[in-house]
Amino acid sequence: MALESNERPDKPITKFESMLRTDDVYFFDAEDFEDIVHHYLNNGKISLAKKGIKIGLQQHPGSTELKLLQVEVMVFENNLDYAERLLDELQLLDANNEEIYIQRANIFSKRDNHEAAVAFLHKALDLTSNSFDIYSLLGMEYLFMDDFKLAKESFMRCVEFDNEDYSSLYNVVYCFEFLEDYDGAIVYLNEYLESNPYCQVAWHQLGKQYSEKEMFQEALTAFDFAVISDDSFIGAYFEKGKVLEKLGKYEEAIENYETTITIEDPTSHAFLRIGKCYEKLKNRDMAKYYFYQTVHEDPLLDKGWLAITNFYYNNKNYEKALYYINKALNIDGENPLYWKKCANINYALENFDQADFAYKQVVDLGNYELETWLKWADVAQINGDTISALQILAQGREFYPNNLKIIYKSVGFHLILKDFINARICMLDALKLDKKHKQLHLFNKQFPQYCNSEWINTILANYKKAS
């Protein structure tokens, strides 16, 4: 039995869902079906949206809007060829429908042809005065193309249409930041705030830009205005706390972090920052308490385990430090800084085999700091593998060709191997850089057994005569 829509005074969505539960068939206007489908798409209920499109096209087979919604679902499901064929049919019927070009742009975007997507979106702009959504799509396409200048301009247009479009506002600021144009962001946000003085989002973003430029007092003022605009704005309190930390005002920073905890459920990041503040205040007990609160709140936050590691490392409790750095490595085993900390701890514990393995991971993961090469070479030599130690120093010298610490250490290792020829070559390389022998103590301190040897004295004397 078919019922007219006016026999059912319920809202279209309620009525539609009632129809799905029964054998009744209700008639809806095409516009009602569009609202129903939009509702389900916005809520991620794709299967119900497809049912709405199917029944809608059965009742209104000529509806272009419903067919365009069908195309939208096809694009979402990556059924791009069929979507294109349907668009070809629709374009023959209505060549001036901007939605056709928007969907074509979506198809090309899915195929990573963002230049073509931009061209279709500009065609859509020529056909409509309601261009807000199109500029938003254009902005995203330009982001895909790494054209942050045009992306920024597109998102600015969106903010002009709707000054409460905070998603676009964030994107504008993101583009400024990527372009490292912090001054431009500050000017833009100040102009925006002239007409929207109670926008907590803009004040918050302005504070972050001032902080980036180390204009800390201006940043604090901006965060205060964000809080005045919305006293429950957690982000403003948190960022204000970070600025106060940089200014050394740790007690005030703690107050702001604690405020975030009182507004909403505690977060591991707030606990971590509070712990670091207490650490700076040399309140070890409170620092330790909050570091443990951090990992209790979020056991997968590797930075929390690292904070506990550093706490014990700085207090020379290397056994506990090793236990906790392994916790961090279990979460992020690709982090070279964690492996470096692991290596340094094992070095302190004289676990030289483990230290050697850890330093190798550090280098394999792309950390080429001078200290890494020097300590790794020392570990290899302590393990009795002086040849490997020299190979490590040779690799390090590729990054630091004129570093006297590496060269003088190489001299000593060659002497340990009784390789006097290469030892002499390295020593002469060092003396060319260290003409007045001001850094010779680097060699003498690590290799005191050679510092007054006849071999060294002869080289120094000959070099002095030659120069």
Q: Quick one: 392 exposed, middle or buried, by C-beta within 10 A (0-12, 13-18, 19+)?
A: buried
Please check whether residue 188 is in contact with residue 170, taking contact to mean a CB–CB distance below 8 angstroms.
Answer: no
Phi and psi for 301 in degrees, rounded to 5?
-85, 100
Task: For the beta carbon of residue 148, count every other beta carbon within 10 angstroms.
Answer: 19
**Residues 6+ positions from 420 with CB-CB distance below 8 Å:** 414, 455
Please check whether residue 383 is in contact with residue 352, taking contact to mean a CB–CB distance below 8 angstroms.
Answer: yes
pTM of the model: 0.77
pLDDT in tens, the chain (467 residues): 333 444 443 478 788 777 777 877 778 788 887 788 888 888 888 888 887 778 777 778 877 787 778 777 777 877 778 787 878 777 788 788 888 888 889 888 988 999 999 999 999 998 887 778 899 999 999 999 999 999 999 999 999 999 999 999 999 999 999 999 999 999 999 999 999 999 999 999 999 999 999 999 999 999 999 999 999 999 999 999 999 999 999 999 999 999 999 998 889 999 999 999 999 999 999 999 999 999 999 999 999 999 999 999 999 999 999 999 999 999 999 999 999 999 999 999 999 999 999 999 999 999 999 999 999 999 999 999 999 999 999 999 999 999 999 999 999 999 999 999 999 999 999 999 988 888 999 999 999 998 888 888 888 887 776 66
Please check whether residue 92 is in contact with residue 73, taking contact to mean a CB–CB distance below 8 angstroms.
Answer: no
Closest CA to 66 of 96, 35, 107: 35
Closest CA to 32 of 7, 5, 8: 5
- Written as six digits, the tokens of 217 are 């007092």
